[in-house]
Amino acid sequence: MQEMTGKTVLITGASRGIGEAAAHVFAQAGANVVLTARSASQIQAIANDIGDKALAVTCDVANWSQVKAAVDLAIARFGAVDVLINNAGMIEPIGPISESDPADWAHVIDVNLKGVYYGARAVLPGMIGRGSGSILTISSGAAHHPLEGWAHYCTSKAGVHMFNEALHLENAGKGIRAIGLSPGTVATQMQREIKASGINAVAQLNWDDHIPPEWVARTLLWMCSEDADEFKGHEVSLRDVAIRKRAKVFE
């Protein structure tokens, strides 16, 4: 297991699924973990379970001032943010462009794309000042392939993919590791929402077709190691069996 003692990891969307699993995996590796989400009670319960190394901060990633405040609180408590995990994301409401609500459509962009930018913008000054830091962002196959009913989600994830490349271009020489993770389909609440929509092939998958969020969390931990440096500025695909072995997701 990658050693993270003394490091601080800030996780967005940490109230359930991948974010919750990542909080536990990184804490087990010795890291301080800062859990952010809109649901205060859920992240506080997870933080209480982890103990003194965890801090819960209520935060809507679509709001720049809240993201900046969350990062400031993390620095005040633990001294720095060494790893940012941009995990918060949404896909509802699923449906055709012709019937979409402009406000709902825009909100998905605010969360999935602008939220990633806000997180990076808030942690970058500190990371650049120290000459080190990792910004890990959950991407998706939807960044590269359109899916019916998912125009908002696909568009946001395509933007995230390009943002990761731009982040690497500007900051790799300053010690910043920017890496995306395309996990495939994961057994989370989002997949329940997709299933309920009945739209496109992903909605037809069975629950046991999806990988557990713990696999994604273990991969994120591995991505903090030098073994993942070849992917800086690019994406790691968890569909790749070789990556699953390198990340030791089966342990």
- In this structure, is the dihedral angle defined by the CA atoms of residues 78, 79, 82 and 83, taken in order, positive or negative? positive
CB 224 within 8 Å of CB 218:
no
φ, ψ for residue 180, nearest 5 deg: -95, 160
Query: 117 catalytic, yes or no?
Result: no
For the chain, the residue count is 251
What CA–CA distance (Å, rounded) separates 137 from 120? 10
Give the separation between CA 34 and CA 143, rounded to whole angstroms: 27
Report how many helices (DSSP H) and strands (DSSP E) the chain contains, helices first: 9, 7
Q: Are 182 and 207 in contact (CB under 8 A)?
A: no
Catalytic site residue from 153, 215, 222, 231: 153
The answer to whether the Cα torsion of 192, 194, 198, 200 is positive or negative is negative
Query: Mind telling me the catalytic residues?
Result: 153
